[in-house]
Amino acid sequence: MIGQFFILKKPLHLFHTVLLLAVWSISIPIVLATESPLIQLPGKISAQNVLVLYKQHNALSKQIAKYYAQQRHVPSSQVVPVDIWKSPKQINQQKFETIYNQLEPHLTDNIKVILLTWHAPYRVDCMSITSAFALGFDKKYCSHRIKEDKGCKKTANSPYFNSSSHLLWQDNPPIRLSMMLSGENFEQAKRLIDRGIAADSSQPSGTAYLVRTHDGSRSTRWPIFEKFSQIWGHRKGIDVLYIDDRKNKDGTQIQNKENIMFYHTGLTHVPAIKTNNYLPGAIADHLTSGAGIGIKHTGQMKAFRWLEAGVTGSYGAVVEPCNFPEKFPNPQVLIPSYLDGDSLIEAYWKSVQQPGEGLFVGEPLARPWGKTQAVLIDGVLTINSFELDSEKTYFIEAQQTESSPWNRVKAKIRWHGKEAKIRIPNASGKRYRIVENLTVS
């Protein structure tokens, strides 16, 4: 694979927006309101679809989980402790399956995302813990399935690679995407969560840096980088730049840069990352062997350094993956998916063809390119959305509290081309959801 450009088996949506409609929803905070209701609309995952796990008897993990649930409005019943507080950097298959079985009552059809609010354990035998939670523990996702296996090997592909979320959720059993959110202290985790929320529907304009470095072994993605930059150029407010940085042996051209939205490179340690300004929702990673091995500052640079520098999502391997491009994020899938309105966790997961040995870290619900806005003024809730289908019909339901039932409310829905304009008078609910009317032929 070194020096070769591989062809994706599924078409990329580079020039159109894919709108996915399903029974789960996205929550959007309303501006100009004292008590901001949430809008759930069909098509995207939301806080209602997240199971937040924290380490039992671990104060930092619990504090992060509590803050995340509070800020993202995750139902309290979906914040759950797990008994791994004494676990080391990795756990074995038996321990993982015990934990997973204990979580079964919480893994309802509504749960699409599992968020881990700790930084160890990060590995389950030969898999990353985020991949184990998402795909189930299976050695087909490992390079070395038995002790006798040696050398560099590829693994099984993820069924989510370059796929559509609504198809994935229909699998039996469904795949629940997983991500780790933590920090060396609460303030680091808090800043990460706040960045993710700030990213929502921000419609940012910025730059994607796809960097080929002097480290040839870790720059095997460069043909993908170069080709994609030629295809994309400048679209939807994002400049995709291929940077040949091979002449920089000790430094990099990517320093003191503003408005970075994507940064993908390959080095054991990436210099000057704290000199740059990263937009809320930014994603960055570096191809190397051990970026997912914990949070410490020893050895190769860890993915958590990106988060500390101001990035919202990153990725790193937890075992020696070798330098197969398939085992690392592919911006040719990631960038179009993110800009088409996917959340960070959806876009990032679908960009890795073989993620079994890779750890996803960051704030999963960040969604910079959401296409719905809502405003509450004088008790009238107005929702403008490009994420509904004008050929379908919808009704609106309200919920007064987290545990109260949903009740249908009076609303007017009008269409202006592809934009739906929804007006809800006397809007006093805590949450509102737009529901597709399936009884209409």
Place of tokens 């937040």: 52
- Amino acid type, 151: G
pLDDT at site 84: 86
Whether residue 312 contacts residue 195, with contact meaning beta carbons closer than 8 Å, is answered with yes
pLDDT at site 17: 35
Q: Which two tokens stand for residue 252?
A: 């990099």
pLDDT at site 144: 83
pLDDT at site 438: 84
Residue 25 placed within a domain: no
Is the pLDDT confidence value at 73 over 60? yes
Higher model confidence: residue 11 or residue 45? Answer: 45
pLDDT at site 143: 93
**b/e map of 181-215 (b: 16 or more CB within 10 Å)?**
bbbeeeebbbebbebbbebbbeebebbbbbbbbeb
pLDDT band at residue 96, thresholds of 50, 70 and 90? very high
pLDDT band at residue 2, thresholds of 50, 70 and 90? very low
Residue 347 parent element (H or E) = helix 344-350
pLDDT in tens, 134-179: 999 999 999 987 766 778 999 999 999 998 766 666 666 778 999 9
Instruction: Look up the pTM and report it.
Output: 0.88
Place of tokens 């007017």: 412
pLDDT band at residue 186, thresholds of 50, 70 and 90? very high
pLDDT at site 38: 84
User: Which of the listed residues 337, 362, 387 is the one where a domain comes to its end?
Assistant: 362
| Pairing of the two strands 113-116 and 177-180 | parallel
Least confident residue range of 85-89, 184-188, 286-290: 85-89
Place of tokens 């509590």: 66
Q: Which two tokens stand for residue 115?
A: 């968020």
Q: 393 and 354 in one domain? A: no
What torsion do the CA atoms of 121, 266, 208, 275 make, to the nearest 10 degrees?
80
| Interval 60-82 mean pLDDT | 96
Is the pLDDT confidence value at 208 over 90? yes
Query: Is the C-alpha dihedral spanning 308, 312, 318, 323 positive or negative?
Result: negative
High-pLDDT (> 90) share of the chain, %:
76
- State the DSSP code for 31: B
Higher model confidence: residue 172 or residue 27? Answer: 172
Helix, strand, coil content of the chain in percent (nearest 5): 25, 25, 50
Give CA–CA dist 152/157, Å, rounded.
Answer: 16
High-pLDDT (> 70) share of the chain, %:
88
Q: 379 and 338 in one domain? A: no
User: Which of the listed residues 333, 362, 391 is the one where a domain comes to its end?
Assistant: 362
| Domain span at 100 | 45-362
Q: 303 and 343 in one domain? A: yes
pLDDT at site 148: 63
Q: 382 and 304 in one domain? A: no
Place of tokens 């829905």: 413
Residue 441 placed within a domain: no
Q: 258 and 186 in one domain? A: yes
pLDDT at site 33: 45
Residue 87 placed within a domain: yes
Higher model confidence: residue 276 or residue 428? Answer: 276
Of 413, 418, 419, the residue nearest 436 (C-alpha): 413
Residue 304 placed within a domain: yes
pLDDT at site 14: 38
Is the pLDDT confidence value at 60 over 70? yes
Domain total in the chain: 2
pLDDT in tens, 111-122: 999 999 999 999
Residue 37 placed within a domain: no
What torsion do the CA atoms of 279, 295, 186, 254 make, to the nearest 10 degrees?
-20
pLDDT band at residue 5, thresholds of 50, 70 and 90? very low
Q: 353 and 404 in one domain? A: no
Q: 84 and 109 in one domain? A: yes
Q: 382 and 357 in one domain? A: no
Q: Any idea what the Cα angle at residue 265 is, between residues 264 and 270, rounded to 5°?
A: 115
- Do you know the residue count of the chain? 441
Is the pLDDT confidence value at 31 over 70? no
Helix (H, G, I), strand (E, B) or coil at 76: helix
Residue 125 placed within a domain: yes
- Amino acid type, 344: L
Q: Which two tokens stand for residue 341?
A: 């309105």
Q: 339 and 253 in one domain? A: yes
pLDDT in tens, 228-287: 999 998 888 999 999 999 999 989 999 999 999 999 999 999 999 999 999 999 999 999
Residue 21 placed within a domain: no
Residue 282 placed within a domain: yes
pLDDT at site 86: 73
Name residue 263's beta-bridge partners: 209, 284
Burial of 150 per CB tally in 10 Å (0-12, 13-18, 19+): exposed
Give CA–CA dist 258/260, Å, rounded.
Answer: 6
Which ranges constitute the DSSP H helices of 280-330? Answer: 304-309
Is the pLDDT confidence value at 30 over 50? no
pLDDT in tens, 357-371: 999 999 999 999 998
Q: 125 and 185 in one domain? A: yes
| Interval 430-440 mean pLDDT | 85
Higher model confidence: residue 359 or residue 84? Answer: 359
Q: 203 and 100 in one domain? A: yes
- Amino acid type, 420: A
Is the pLDDT confidence value at 4 over 50? no
Please, what is the average pLDDT of the chain?
89
Q: 383 and 283 in one domain? A: no
pLDDT at site 40: 84
Is the pLDDT confidence value at 107 over 60? yes
Q: Which two tokens stand for residue 86?
A: 């004494």
